[in-house]
Amino acid sequence: MYLINNWYKKIILLSNIAEDSGVRGCMIFKPYGLDIWEHIKTKINYLLKKTGHKNFYFPLLILKSKLKKEFNHMKGFAKECAIVTHSRLKIKQRKLIIEEESKLKNELIIRPTSESIIWDSFKKWIKSYRDLPMLLNQWSNIIRWEMRPRFFLRNSEFFLQEGHTAHSTKKEAIRHCKKILNLYKYFIEDILSIPVIKGRKTKLEKFAGANITYCLEAIMQDGKALQIATSHFLGKNFSRSFNVKYINKKGISKNVWGTSWGISTRLIGAVILTHSDKYGLILPPKIAPIQIVIIPIINKNDDFNIKILDNIVDKLIVCFKQNKISFRYDNSPKYRPGWKFNEYDVKGIPIRLTIGKQEIEKGKIEVFRRDTRKKKYYNITKLKKNLIVLLKKIQRNLFKRALILQKKFICKVNNYQEFKKILNTKGGILYSHWDGSTYIEKKIKKETSASIICIPSINKKEIGKCIYSQNFSKQRVYFAKSY
Amino acid sequence: MYLINNWYKKIILLSNIAEDSGVRGCMIFKPYGLDIWEHIKTKINYLLKKTGHKNFYFPLLILKSKLKKEFNHMKGFAKECAIVTHSRLKIKQRKLIIEEESKLKNELIIRPTSESIIWDSFKKWIKSYRDLPMLLNQWSNIIRWEMRPRFFLRNSEFFLQEGHTAHSTKKEAIRHCKKILNLYKYFIEDILSIPVIKGRKTKLEKFAGANITYCLEAIMQDGKALQIATSHFLGKNFSRSFNVKYINKKGISKNVWGTSWGISTRLIGAVILTHSDKYGLILPPKIAPIQIVIIPIINKNDDFNIKILDNIVDKLIVCFKQNKISFRYDNSPKYRPGWKFNEYDVKGIPIRLTIGKQEIEKGKIEVFRRDTRKKKYYNITKLKKNLIVLLKKIQRNLFKRALILQKKFICKVNNYQEFKKILNTKGGILYSHWDGSTYIEKKIKKETSASIICIPSINKKEIGKCIYSQNFSKQRVYFAKSY
């Protein structure tokens, strides 16, 4: 099995998506990785603008005194902050040292998320019911001091999309949380081809400062779960801490209700862990920076007219542009076709076309699908239509494959011994009864490393006995070892 | 005169481009300001990709030990660094304090620019002449601890586009520096309608770590100069400090030659200071997030058919979409037309169309130009063509106006008394002889606050006497008080 050792890291390095930077937990985004992120960003940005959100940009640095305001929130992030304490360096005896006199009176925290600074502005901006709902979005880089950093999944620095909203009623705020969760679900399933489980977090696992954390969870090929998106109902926690009030239609001053939600470059990690195979990355067409690569095969001794090849390629390129298919025509003489085949395999380009003497003579072109690794020959005349269909097919096939995997990994378990055994062998998501107690949840986590990844939102009513305590349980929840 | 007091700040606040954040020197980008930046970014990104540059993203945090490597570079930024020293907070007696045990062994600097971290990677990536030239670009946020922060012009945090390249020959590196400077010049003059002076910095004013700093300088309405873009020839400074060598075609190991260059959100400040008037912002059409606003005038007592109005507007919208003209149709009943006129004036929308009963009856539409503040009536049938022409006219007119201003402000001066007098009255750029000595340059700066903004690249050969020392001078240079 290829899912071992440094498989994940190797794919990232070989496909030239990212690499280590030498700064703990921070990586360098290479052009290919940045392109994938730009695709994700453009599409989610479009969806958020369409649903009435506006982009803002708040400062990177947060005053310690503001972070402090919402107690639970602060507590949740206190142990993973990058703290700025000084503003000048000096040279002393050929050494570069910090100038003690430049010590800041008010220390600053590099944002681990932006609730504190945004609620500080909500206070200024929200006066009346006419200002509500206030729907903000931000794209930014953030720092969380991860103990065990990992490419894309647990970086110290990563890119975050974070939405922050304020509403006049609880109902509206919760509805908004759910709406965003569904928007994420659509994006992740339809564009990234990753099937997700929708639910909410337990008290233990929810976001620091939230009343409810709704979440999307996915299962990776190695049987570990990955939290892929979250949407938090903040209740009045932040509006009370930051004293954000509005005058309602009756002239009465009321606290607003808050939400916040986000996705991050973690999505790239999810794509890699869901779709890749032993040959490298596989990108769903809708997110691939290059959807089709064309590789010409020209042997010195071939006697065919190079103009015919150029002509075919030109026509293809016109068609790709018309249909907004992103492509690369790689006719560089620097590398041999075999090297290129491997290169584009590793990079996960959905479709590869090969055109050489044979193809031209037969009027057929070799089409290679990255997902199934199968070759087919298409008539040049029908190529255009077939390729558009094929891209859709690949997109669907990747989702289907991942869904089969997900189903394979979900397993109903009623016995704690079996529960532990499965976790230690095939892993995956265990669907078991739980009595609702945080104490038991912690016990299980300590003994097995599995946490409750979510209480599913679509859940059959079923009473039973808690897998651990044997106490009364009113529903099953999902347990898994998580990234 | 309107160019007084807080005029600049007021325009920023009233047009809703940005506002203060409460964190020293950091501002909040509002949606309108962020939109302008996204326009700038998209266009420059396109130009840089077209010229072979690839986007990377390097970490926000730089190891102090790496910053130290290039001595002059480090010295230049040492006094304005945000330094991260700890990674955890804790609560003690209801206070949030820094956990001393979390002190970092290796302190980190928030990037003030990314030369150090990028040259550290160049060392890994550059092996042979085949890897050259290496053309990198990065879009990011950076921190410089400004003593006197100012919206867009001197923010502590701002957005930067920074290019970094490595070349095999000195000639090629210098050529690249100049090529980029011309690219910036094209963008700033053609898209932002700001005329610039091209030149290079003196030894005193050049970038920390560069051998030559090429620059573009502009003059603002208040007679102060603004450095608007720079392009640095780094020589072998970084390649020696970071030991970046390549094997040339003859198999010999050689140090590479470096360049770096950038523009930033400062460009937005330049647009505001160049084009605005007492009514608010004026945006050049090519950079305006909204190029045309349509405001319908509907009085309750008007007896005309609202469908006719809708019909006209629909046709306009189709035309705008076809011609990629960005527009807003503001038919919100929330505000009266007068309020809207003012709002879009302040926001600097290039063209405002008003459509009401009168206009429909006469078959003519009122067209208001923001730059000249003149109204005209255009036949509905000829509107489309006229508007496209008008947008181009406004773009050119703004440039022309700024060019006249620039010429008005450039002044040949041969006498130091006059030099000081002009600086203290109308300001502007003084074209005077200088003997080339840094000592004299510093003296003048200290006495008048004017620095040498650049040694112009297009310069008539003219010998003369230094304005200060009376020593022999082989050329005139530009002096000015600068932002």
Give the span between the Cα atoms of B340 and B229, in whole angstroms: 36
Task: For residue A103, give the chain B residue with the closest CA.
Answer: B83
Residues from chain A that touch B61, judged by Cβ atoms under 8 A, are 23, 26, 82, 143, 156-157
Q: Is the Cβ pair A157, B59 closer than 8 Å?
A: yes
Q: How far apart are the first and last CA of chain B?
A: 20
CB contact residues (below 8 A), chain A span 144-183, against chain B: 145, 156-157
Contacts of B78 in chain A (CB under 8 A): 88-91, 96
Mutation for testing the B interface, residue in A16, A20, A28, A63 having most B CBs under 10 Å: A28
Buried b (16+ CB within 10 A) or exposed e, B353-381: bbbbbebbeeebbbbbbbbeeeeeebebe
Mutate to test the interface with A, among B36, B87, B111 (most CBs of A within 10 A): B87
**Which of A83, A92, A151, A164 is best to mutate for the B interface (most B CBs within 10 A)?**
A83
Q: What is the pLDDT of residue A461?
A: 84
DSSP-derived 3-state class of residue A466:
coil
Instruction: Using an 8 Å CB-CB cutoff, list chain A residues near B55.
Output: 31, 34-35
Instruction: Output the pLDDT for position A362.
Output: 85
Q: Please tell me the distance in Å from B318's CA to the nearest CA on chain A.
A: 19
Cα–Cα dist A370/A386, whole Å: 16
| Nearest beta carbon to residue A59 from set B21, B107, B121 | B21
In the stretch 41-60 of chain B, residues with CB closer than 8 A to chain A read 54-60
Please indicate whether, in this complex, the C-beta atoms of B78 and A58 are within 8 angstroms of each other.
no
Quick check: A74 and B59 CB within 8 A? Answer: no
Q: How far apart are CA B172 and CA B175, in angstroms?
A: 5
CB-CB neighbors (< 8 A) of A32 in chain B: none
* Residue B392 touches chain A, beta carbons under 8 Å: no
Query: Please, which residues 301-330 of chain A have a Cβ atom closer than 8 Å to chain B?
Result: none
Strands B472-473 and B476-480 turn out to be: unpaired
3-state secondary structure B230-295: EEEEEECHHHHHCCCEEECCCCCEEECEEEEEEEECHHHHHHHHHHCECCECCCCHHHCCCCEEEE
pTM: 0.95
Tell which residue, A315, A322, A306, A323, has the closest CA to residue A353. A315
Phi and psi torsions of A471, nearest 5°: -70, 170
Give the ipTM. Answer: 0.95
Asked whether the beta carbons of residue A58 and residue B21 sit closer than 8 angstroms, the reply is: yes
Reading chain A (483 residues) residue by residue, the pLDDT tens digits are 455 558 899 999 999 999 999 998 999 999 999 999 999 999 999 999 999 999 999 999 999 989 888 888 888 899 999 999 999 999 888 788 999 999 999 999 999 999 999 999 999 999 999 999 999 999 999 999 988 899 999 999 999 999 999 999 999 999 999 999 999 999 999 999 999 999 999 999 999 999 999 999 999 999 999 999 999 999 999 999 999 999 999 999 999 999 999 999 999 999 999 999 999 999 999 999 999 999 998 877 766 677 888 888 998 999 999 999 999 999 998 899 999 999 999 999 999 999 988 888 888 999 999 999 999 999 988 888 899 999 999 999 999 999 999 999 999 999 999 999 999 998 999 999 999 999 999 999 999 999 999 999 988 889 999 999 999 999 999 999 999
| Residue segments in chain B with a per-residue pLDDT below the cut of 70 | 1-5, 302-304
Q: How far is B329 from chain A (nearest CA, A)?
A: 16
3 state DSSP class of A144: coil
Residue B384 is predicted with a pLDDT of 86
Q: Which of A264, A112, A290, A282 is closest to A188 using CA atoms?
A: A264
Distance from CA of A367 to the nearest CA of B (A): 29
Q: Considering CB atoms only, which of B23, B29, B74 is closest to A108?
A: B23
Q: Choose the closest CB to B83 out of A60, A61, A87.
A: A87
Q: How many CB atoms lie within 10 A of CB A372?
A: 12
From the number of C-beta atoms within 10 Å of its C-beta (0-12, 13-18, 19+), residue A259 rates as buried
Which of A29, A60, A64 has the CB atom closest to B56's CB atom? A29
The angle subtended at Cα B75 by Cα B236 and Cα B103, nearest 5°, is 115
- CA-based max dimension of chain B: 87
Q: Which structure tokens are listed for B293?
A: 């606003």
Residue A99: what pLDDT?
95
pLDDT of B107: 94
Structure confidence at residue B303 (pLDDT): 66
Maximum alpha-carbon separation in chain A: 87
DSSP string, A96-115: EEE-GGGEEEEEEEE-SSSH
Is B208's Cβ below 8 Å from some Cβ in A? no
Between chains, do B98 and A90 touch, taking CB under 8 Å as contact? Answer: no
| DSSP tally for chain B: helices H, then strands E | 14, 27
CA dihedral for A65, A70, A75, A76, sign (positive or negative): negative
